[in-house]
Structure 1
Amino acid sequence: MQGAHRNSLRLLQWMMAASLALPIALFAIASAISYTSTNDIADREIERTLDVAHEHALKVFETIDRSLAELNEVVHGIPDEVIRSREPALHLRLKRLSDSLPQLKSAWVFDAQGRPLVNSIISPAPQMSFADRDYFNAHVDHNVGTFIGTPLTPRQPYQGARFFGVSRRRDSDDGSFIGVIQASVLPEYFESFYTRIGRDPGSFFAIGRTDGMVLAHFPRLDRDVRLDPGGPVGRKIAASPDHGLITIAWPSDGIERRIGYKRVAEYPIYVSAGLETSAIRARWYATIGQHLVFGVPATALLFLFLALAFRRTQHLQAEGARRRDAEEALKHSQRLEALGQLTGGVAHDFNNLLTVIRASVDLLNRPQLSEERRQRYINAIADSVARAAKLTSQLLAFARRQTLKPEVFDVGARVQSLHDMLATLLGPGVDIAMRLPAEPCLVNADAGQFETALFNMAVNARDAMQGRGKIVFTVQAATAVPDSLAHLVGSHGFVTVDVADTGVGIPAAQIGRIFEPFFTTKQVGRGTGLGLSQVFGFTKQSGGEVTVASEVGKGSTFTLYLPRVPAEILPRRQAPDTAPAVAGNGMSVLLVEDNIEVANFAADGLTELGYCVTLSDNADDALAELAGDADRFDVVFSDVVMPGKSGLDLAHEVRNRGIEVPIVLTTGYSQVVSQEGSGGFELLQKPYTIEQLSQFLHKAARLRQVGAAE
């Protein structure tokens, strides 16, 4: 006992340490994932913004280029003297052009000496030379096409904002140089546009020439910036000259940014868009902060609870033997109360857990264990699953919420086939007699649950006889039914199964309680009190009734009433549970399951068998998948119990929309299914194996193919 006490304290200490270490580890993992995700999202935002800025710049320069080409056509072949004579009209034309394009400050036509012939600002044009400007010099010696100059300040007498020139060469018919056509473009036009689209904290935009001269910058700068082509930015752009993403300290202000760049078509221009890395980190900090807001109090509260539990455990152990009996009684009472709560809705989640455990048996592999230990563990898990599934089945049968799997079978033949098993179960001291009809007595019920009910009644009878006596099993067509079934008697009536014993009998005061869950007259540890509860639940859910007649000292007779079906209906054969899995061969399955663990188990198992699986965690998303292209799915496999629309709702809506895809449903517990049935759809009971699932899917697909052929 002292060793057990020390172990419990040590366990609590480990739990306290784990309550801190595990959240910290999970937080570190979540932080790393969140950091990567935040950076990926930022990169996508930068690329989208860069596409907008690139499209804008391309349209601006194409518009200016077309305007210069049109202006060149207007003055082409006209001598300078004629242009000067038409200067007032040409001035108005250039002014209209400048006014119509917000990116233009002015437009000019220069002669071969750099003197303006006409411009959009003032008429007549001033008699001064602009031959020293880069937008003029670039065209003197040879034709360079469209030239984009550096940012310039207007010279006297002109005033206003800074600009950069976009110019083209004027050629005579023989190709000799006769002047330049130029448009003065406002950098602030680009900066204003970037202000409108760069609303996120830390936004950055720039447009510049391929030689490193920056034409426009956001945030705005009060000085010119030229990037060194051999510097960090220039080298990275040279490695991928068309477009790319880089993280770098921007030379103009030294701020580290994540920047995307892209060349503007055939123009010697790059546009850039980006975010400050500090702003990206701020997003990540905000996300992590949300985790901390909930995680830190929860972790602290858990640690506090464990610390209180540790101190409480120490205190309780100090009391010793004086309170041990009272504690055991309290624990026993709590266990019974907890088991009673399992009768209803918790069965669904419990069966989901069983499905995942069984999936581990089917799929998991532990190479670090020896084969002998691996097999022992696997067998132990499989046995635990079988026992837990049987317990759940008994609980739900009593609650009349178990989803039964009915089949037509002959009750007399089934009872006869169980003779040897009953003899082994009841022991040599019990004499078994069977009175079976000559004609078939067919019922439509769950055969497995029927056998369980028969065994439960037989074991109850054996215990009442203390292992020595006689049990008589009688199967016959009912000649009379209890009052509770009188309104249900149809043309085929009922089949009765009597189990009579020569035991001690049941006191009249206890007969009303024998079907209650966990009620038992046996000694502690000799019975769970669930056997007769299962019998009661099975018969009620099968549309029948169970009665008991007993007299103390003279034995008891339990009678099952099950609805009879016509004799001409033959029993349906079911494939054994041990049938092998069916390969998918590319069959496409839409798997709808809100429990991620169950969904992953089914998807992994089916994928290994060659199925193509599409996952959806709710009915609305599944309907969207089917609405997009229903023909790409061979079958729909859906859980019944899900938030929002249930699997039955999904199945009915699919049929109402005229979508001809086979549907297989699954559930561990569903009140709607247990009360109203599966609506004609195939139903696979949880917990299921991958083998069973593959068989059901192929069965549904084959039925569809047969229907299409007919």
Structure 2
Amino acid sequence: MQTEQRNSLRLLQWMMAASLALPIALFVFASAVSYVSTQKIADREIERALDVAQEHALKVFETIDRSLSEINEMIRGVPDTAIKSREEAFHARLKQLADSLPQMKSAWIFDAHGGALVNSLAFPAPDIDFSDRDYFRVHVARDAGIFIGRALTPRAPYQGASFFSVSRRRQTEDGSFAGVIQASVLPEYFENFYARIGRDEGSFFALGLTDGTVLARFPVLDNSVNIDRDGPIRHKIAENPMSGLVTVTSAADGIERRLGYQKLAEYPIYVSAGLATSAIRARWLATMSQHLIFGVPATALLFLLLLLALRRTRHLHAEASKRLEAEEALKHGQRLEALGQLTGGVAHDFNNLLTVIGASADLLRRPGLPEERRLRYADAISDTVARAAKLTAQLLAFARRQNLKPEVFDVGQCVKALTEIVGTLAGSPIEIVTDVPDEPCFIDADAGQFETALINMAVNARDAMSGKGRLSIKVGTVTNLPGSSANADGAHGYVAVSVEDTGIGIPQEQFGRIFEPFFTTKEVGQGTGLGLSQVFGFAKQSGGEVMVASQVGKGSTFTLYLPRVSGDDRAQQVPVEDVPQADGHGMSVLVVEDNAEVGAFATHALTELGYVITLVGNATQALAELTGHADRFDVVFTDVVMPGMTGIDLAGEIRRHFDLPVVLTSGYSHVLSQNGSYGFELLQKPYSIEQLTRVLHKVARWRVLKRGAAE
């Protein structure tokens, strides 16, 4: 009996212990899961808030940068005495500029000694020495580019809120120091913005320099510590200088926060956003308190409590996903207008082309059609297809997705060769002036796309002059891009090709749209609006830039900057156009094409020309044909974009295991646009049978020459 009692007591004790231990263990587990989930949700909120703050700061500094450039252009070549004599007019223009930007307190122009020539605050400007200010001192010895200084207080007699400076150097024509152009930016502009978006409890935002100086923050502190040179945040940024997510304690208010930071791409500025860890823990405790209310009474309710917690977590994840989708929809919505314009322009132009093709095809079906008309309609279809291919190439150029064929060539020689064509396009009333240096200016780019870009700029200049004026083409070299101190890759600088006209110029309100596809100020039928888009896309994809300077009534200058190379890598290649068209004469070609219609077209056309064709639908079938029977074929002609193994992968396998030349073909492939053709010959779709036979004989001839050299 006593044994049974002891056993019963022991069992009860174990049950009591279990009734406590099991809920505690499950509660600890649920707490840990909830804590991790809350931390992840908080991190995602911080990252989204950081994206908003970073985009806002980037737009603000880009606007200020453009304003400084506008001021610089306004006084370019104007001596200090002339600026001082026209101070009232310049003051009015600076005041108008400063008043139009809520983030800007004032704009200043200083001479080489730190004296204010003109400002937007007062006329005339008081005679005060500003040479001790950091935004002035930094530019005296060298060109510091865009400089952003620490927060300052106004100097008497000026009053008002504190500010920080964004400045750039003024230079004379010989490059010597002429003074400083400066804009005073209001930190409270950023603080007000952060207050509007930081409504969650514990929210934090800051804008600071790379040395740790805080320019603006939310929440605002009356006696904030504005610099943190050796604190934990500086060490974290040193480990990951571009962006990161850290937990640190602020030296300004002693609050521990979870912070995300990100550096603005082109400016010495960091933007940070975060949440107080106490607020994150409060969220977690608020969640767990609900679990405690339903979990304490009995272990029987534990499963239900966990189920409710699971449903709550799923609900939180669903809400987070909805918020993310809403934010993505907002970002995409900002591009809808541009996409609508692009879609409408493409539809309009392609409908015109399809109308010509359809009408010509209908006329070709008419019985008893004379040979002369049949050839005319066939030529119309062929010409229209070529125009459609050109339109597609221009769209890919704007999107920076064209398949470039880079080669090293001398820009100066290319410009000289195109001078006659430009003169013909411009017409005899327009004077053509070229300035090409004697020394070679080599670039590594697609020569055909470069010629197209130059002609597009020349045609744009011609139309701007209405048939009369002077068109100047100048080739030169620069160390770096205007407004940038970073050299091009390889430290060779850039080749600058400028096309200047004496036309009507570009109004300021159109500057932001001149490179948009299908944007044109010409009459209907006078232009597609894709010429400058091709120039923009070609420059970006080639690692360069295109810049525009214009003044209404005095003309415009478009300058194309492309990275310069040494010229040692020039290769001697035989272009496809130099290979004559020829019949097949029994040449065996393995055609790999997943599109049945395109494959049948190529097969029938090549068979009629005397080629022996084997057509397969994918790369796996092609490898099966080659295995053990590779000697049957002279060339492999394969599409790039195919399901499963791509044409590039197939070409790599053939290069490793079979001694066969490969010709790739594609209308568009993002792999080709990013990495090139990997050393294989590339035929762009749409292609003609003449182009196809030429490239097949080209690679076949290289194979014969290669074997002869080996023997």
TM range (shorter): 0.3 to 0.5
Rg bigger for which structure? 1
Q: What TM-score comes out, normalization by structure 1 length?
A: 0.47
Q: What TM-score comes out, normalization by structure 2 length?
A: 0.47
Greater RCO (CA < 8 Å, at least 6 residues apart): 1
